[in-house]
């Protein structure tokens, strides 16, 4: 999205207190947008405000988007949004072999990456102008599933189906998703633990681009999806060629 296109726009970023969402918040604020970061943890929201130097155009809201009673209240606090983005994902405990998989952990993935986006669309769409957009975050697991990754692969694939359906139902509001590959974010601490660097470096050697992703790579892709008025129902792959190897 060009700077002139986001100036004076209001963007809600759910999951914007770290990683890809935080990178998008920084990019959007620099372009002149008003940004609202929503997340469950007041502590993480406070760190995000500090990291972004607490500009006047930034607001933070504590909310759990998996609880439908809280989502309408989120949108009642603001007159309208131009764009809604969700990068939220709760995957701790979900990467397990099938015999060891914990259904509660799987349910948290479903709630954060499928039910939450569904509720954001349900209650957020009425606050958007006709040229507005909603962008969700899928992932490479839907295309290159790994051992122990069945739950995440399934939920990412389901989210992409939701994107296509909502793009038809909510038109002319545009609904898209970005599908990141392996990106160096805090989420890898849950996936790989103390082998995070080793795991990411091994993938970097496999990828055609020779590196894993950075949060700014995904922020750039989401900015495109927000700004391009001729893109809807689309999954934008930003994965360094991972689907090819």
Q: Say what the pLDDT of residue 189 is.
A: 74
Q: Is the separation of the CB atoms in 17 and 37 below 8 Å?
A: yes
Q: Which residues on neighbouring strands pair with residue 86, listed in sequence order?
A: 14
- CA 121 vs. chain centroid, Å, equals 14
| Euclidean distance between CA atoms 124 and 236, whole angstroms | 22
pLDDT tens-place string over residues 185-221: 877 776 777 888 999 999 999 999 999 999 999 999 9
The structure tokens listed for 142 are 């839907």
pLDDT band, very low/low/confident/very high, at 129 (cuts 50, 70, 90): confident
| Lateral strand order in the sheet of 235-238 | 58-62, 34-39, 10-14, 81-86, 128-137, 174-180, 235-238
Structure tokens at 81: 């949004």
Q: Considering only 112-121, 178-187, 230-239, which range has the smallest mean pLDDT?
A: 178-187
Total-model pTM: 0.94
* Average confidence score pLDDT of the chain: 94
How far is the C-alpha of 45 from the C-alpha of 37, rounded, in Å?
Answer: 8
Kindly state the average pLDDT of the residues 114-122: 98
Cis peptide before 172 (omega within 30 of 0): yes
Closest to 138 measured CA to CA, from 179, 87, 181, 110: 179
Tokens of residue 82, six digits: 């131009």
pLDDT band for position 79 (cuts 50, 70, 90): confident
The fourth-level CATH superfamily of domain 3-239 is NAD(P)-binding Rossmann-like Domain (3.40.50.720)
Q: State pLDDT tens for residues 159-184.
A: 999 999 999 999 999 999 999 999 99
Residue 137, H or E segment: strand 128-137
Which region holds residue 19: left if phi is over 0, alpha if psi is between -120 and 50, else beta? Answer: left
* Structure-token pair, residue 46: 């406070």
Domain positions in the chain are 3-239
Cβ–Cβ under 8 Å, residues 64 and 39:
no
């Amino acid at each position: 999205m060009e700077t002139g296109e986001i100036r004076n726009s209001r963007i809600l970023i759910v999951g914007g207190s770290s990683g890809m969402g935080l990178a998008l918040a920084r990019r959007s604020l620099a372009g002149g947008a008003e940004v609202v970061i929503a997340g469950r943890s007041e502590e993480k929201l406070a760190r995000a405000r500090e990291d972004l130097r607490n500009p006047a155009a930034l607001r933070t809201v504590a909310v759990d988007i998996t609880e439908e009673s809280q989502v309408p209240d989120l949108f009642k606090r603001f007159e309208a949004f131009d764009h809604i983005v969700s990068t939220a994902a709760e995957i701790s405990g979900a990467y397990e072999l099938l015999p060891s998989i914990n259904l509660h952990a799987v349910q948290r993935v479903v709630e954060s990456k499928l039910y939450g986006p569904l509720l954001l669309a349900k209650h957020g769409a009425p606050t958007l102008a006709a040229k507005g957009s909603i962008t969700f975050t899928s992932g490479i697991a839907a295309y290159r599933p790994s051992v122990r990754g069945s739950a995440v692969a399934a939920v990412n694939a389901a989210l992409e189906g939701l994107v296509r359906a909502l793009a038809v139902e909510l038109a002319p509001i545009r609904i898209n998703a970005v599908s990141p590959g392996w990106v160096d974010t805090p989420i890898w601490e849950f996936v790989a633990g103390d082998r995070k660097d080793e795991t990411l470096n091994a993938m970097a050697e496999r990828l055609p681009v020779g590196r894993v992703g950075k949060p700014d790579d995904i922020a750039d892709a989401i900015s495109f999806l927000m700004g391009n008025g001729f893109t809807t129902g689309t999954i934008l792959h930003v994965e360094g060629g991972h689907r090819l190897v």
